[in-house]
Chain A
Amino acid sequence: MDRRTFLKIIGAGVAGATTGNLLTPGKSSAEESLSGKEFYGILVDTTRCIGCRRCEKACAEVNGLPIPDISEKTNEFILKNKRKTSDTQYTIINRYETEKGTIFVPKRCMHCNQPGCAAACLVKAMKKRPSGHVTWDLNCIGCRLCMISCPFDIPKFEYNKAMPRVQKCNLCWDRFNKGVLPGCVEACPTQALMFGSRRQILEEGKRRIAANPDKYIEHIYGEYEVGGTSHLYLSSVPFEQIGFRKDLGTVAYPEYSTGFLYAVPFIFVLWPIAMLGINRATKKSKEDEGHHEEKGKH
């Protein structure tokens, strides 16, 4: 090993030890996966959904969750309330009465292109897979910052367990690896859910809007929201009428913390130098020292 290589290695080691990858914060863990393969996702056409809750049942079966009763009578009762996903329900359907009649909206993890949850995770338990799936792993320490960082309030925590997990839809990651469709998509009787690469489903969404401009509003929720999501929604009414937030912006969530992360290496390098400088500058000269000695020790 020549001297230059050696210095390079040492330099990289020191930089790594003090700042990690922070010198390049733009390249967040969530974004790394942007390169390469296409993300997969689901196109949800709310004009096709009939609120049968079969996707809820299929999801529960696939993920080993309590199986919901989806008889018509129960549905009528359940759909009266606006529900949220929970640690035992990764997907739920809500009913909205709008100017264009009753609309059913399935809700689950949006699988953001650059997820806040994954960027927040200090052990990469929450991960954006190269295929677009946002998954959770057992090395999680349970700090719940992912829940705080999710604009859609999706990750749910098992509060009443001694060994809790963070629960959410993972776009059927295991089934994807076996080449099988997600449980909900397979169960949907009206093809309200369509699985495909993000490019495919976005094209299909645009095609449907163009073919039926009176039926759909010209907005695919998730195309630009929070930097884009792998779950895309079509609707016949403005999205705020069917329980979507319109104030989330188009900036990818990890971007909000990059400003701070950029400051880190600067402070790490400049602070010690500045303080050492001040310390040396404020040092008393020899005569003053003598004077200090005379004054006695505290």
Chain B
Amino acid sequence: MAGEKLETVDVVQEKPEGPSIKSFGDFIDFLKKELKPRGNIVTPFNIISLPIMLLGYAFIVYRLAVGLGRPVTNLNQEYPWGLWIGFDVVTGVAFAGGAYVLCFIVYVLRAEKYHPIIRATVLNGFLAYLFYAGAIVLDIGRWWNIYNPMVGNDFGVNAVMFLVAWHFFLYMLAALIEFSPAIAEWLGLRRVRKILGAMTLGAVIFGITLSTLHQSGLGALMMMAKSKIHPLWYTEFIPILYFVSSIFAGLSLVIFEGAISHKVFGPQIDEEHNKSYDDIVIGLARICAVTMFGYFFLKALLLVHEHAVPYLGSTMGFWYLFEVIGFVLVPCFMFVSGAQQKNLSTIKFAAVLTMVGIILNRLNYTFIVYNWYVPLSEKYWPAPMELVITASIILTEVWAFRWMVNRMPVLRKPPAWAIEKEH
């Protein structure tokens, strides 16, 4: 961690007007300079993460060469979806939900209080889509056909998956536009910055609409698995549950990521932001608490509505209560008490619990309570290569995030010329 801190000190002292890029050649020179690592490369994080990433890349090549079956994944005819879809894509997208929620708060509701964390959150959301949702390329068996839903001639326009695919793609564009002013500031492109800044509200509104639809759409994918998902989890309202839970899933990740960023990128963060940081986290905790209670209430309502109460006495019932009480209701109350007592550690712990709950929930739908009647010995369990590849994708995202935060005005103040433009 010490290495990263050293690294960031240089950045803060950089000249405020940024580079002057006049031609494409300048841009390449600038990029070459920026691509070089800054500060100490030999840090504990790098030493641990680099070998995992390289191993993961090797496994990815192996997967493309031999296919999805063993030893790469434990997927089988009973369990078509496993860790890559369940965790990387479905959970990853829920965690990326913080971007659209905060955009709604900051740009639509104009709650300026949360402005200091908007760029880091949007960047995180964009990278999550790029890497985690991008991991879908590895999971789909016939990946060379991936462009078919976009430029093919047989559009399955009535398929939920068609919608989700398009919305992923369009949302990535929207998130990129939302973040792009930071890129323009990094490159010192004043005119471009102005144009991109003017596009923000449009991109935000488009992005929130897309997010509403594909967050719930991920749940709608499971609608036709009616006979396979345990009745405690299957309801016609899965899409709504997915949407509501993406709100607190995303915000919990924002709290979690913020806590780490503050340690790692501490020196970049200006004092004003630092002072308001606690207040921001407490505000986020309040939003989480309210949405989680709403979610819990909805869950309870659906339990009765779907006549699923009798199942609560079974083994599956315990597993259900473990998820809903242990990882929804408990962190919900922790958020409340943490916000009331202004206790940040309680809030952070609640955020971690919430994230575990979301992982459980999404994996339940993809393989744990999916085909719940299959005997335990035949159940899907992630293979080592699946785990390593997943870890390497997450770490690559973290590296990309660190690289961008260290070079672009994400956590630190934008250059003076850009701030003047903003008002």
Question: Given A124-B156, A162-B66, A278-B109, is A140 in contact with B224 using a C-beta cutoff of 8 Å?
Answer: no
Select one of A20, A275, A284 contacting B157, CB under 8 A: A20
> Does A164 contact B67, Cβ atoms closer than 8 Å?
yes
> Does A261 contact B160, Cβ atoms closer than 8 Å?
yes
| Those of B214-228 within 8 Å (CB) of chain A | 216-217, 220-228
Question: Given A20-B155, A158-B67, A261-B160, is A123 in contact with B148 using a C-beta cutoff of 8 Å?
Answer: yes
Number of residues of chain A lying within 8 A (CB) of chain B = 67
Question: Given A122-B159, A160-B66, A282-B109, is A141 in contact with B223 using a C-beta cutoff of 8 Å?
Answer: no
| Those of B149-195 within 8 Å (CB) of chain A | 149, 152, 154-163, 165
> Does A157 contact B149, Cβ atoms closer than 8 Å?
no
Question: Given A22-B157, A144-B80, A162-B64, is A264 in contact with B163 using a C-beta cutoff of 8 Å?
Answer: yes
> Does B160 contact A141, Cβ atoms closer than 8 Å?
no
What residues of A have a CB within 8 angstroms of the CB of B228 in the complex? 148
- Please, what's the 1-or-0 string for A11-47, where 1 marks a CB less than 8 Å from any CB in chain B? 0000000001110010111000000000000000000
Select one of B69, B104, B148, B420 contacting A275, CB under 8 A: B104
**Is the CB of B33 closer than 8 A to any CB of chain A?**
no
Question: Given A147-B77, A282-B109, is A163 in contact with B142 using a C-beta cutoff of 8 Å?
Answer: yes
What residues of A have a CB within 8 angstroms of the CB of B227 in the complex? 151, 245, 247-248
Nearest 8 A/B pairs, CB to CB: A142-B141, A159-B69, A149-B224, A142-B142, A20-B157, A160-B69, A144-B80, A122-B162
> Does A267 contact B208, Cβ atoms closer than 8 Å?
no
> Does B226 contact A156, Cβ atoms closer than 8 Å?
no
Closest Cβ–Cβ distance, residue B29 to chain A (whole Å): 32
A sample of 16 more A-B contacts (CB under 8 A), given A158-B141, A254-B224, A267-B213, is A27-B158, A86-B77, A87-B77, A137-B154, A141-B143, A141-B146, A143-B139, A144-B80, A148-B370, A157-B68, A159-B67, A160-B66, A162-B66, A256-B223, A257-B223, A284-B110
**Is the CB of A221 closer than 8 A to any CB of chain B?**
no
Closest Cβ–Cβ distance, residue B268 to chain A (whole Å): 15
6 contacts between A and B (CB under 8 A): A20-B157, A123-B148, A139-B145, A160-B67, A261-B220, A284-B110
What residues of B have a CB within 8 angstroms of the CB of A271 in the complex? 205, 208-209, 212
A102 to B373, CA, bound (A): 26
**Is the CB of B296 closer than 8 A to any CB of chain A?**
no
Task: Report the contact-size class of chain B (Cβ under 8 Å from the partner).
Answer: 35 or more
A137 to B65, CA, bound (A): 22
Looking at chain B's contact residues, is the secondary structure mostly helix, strand, loop, or mixed?
A: helix
A298 to B162, CA, bound (A): 42
- Please, what's the 1-or-0 string for A127-145, where 1 marks a CB less than 8 Å from any CB in chain B? 0000000000101111111
A116 to B67, CA, bound (A): 26
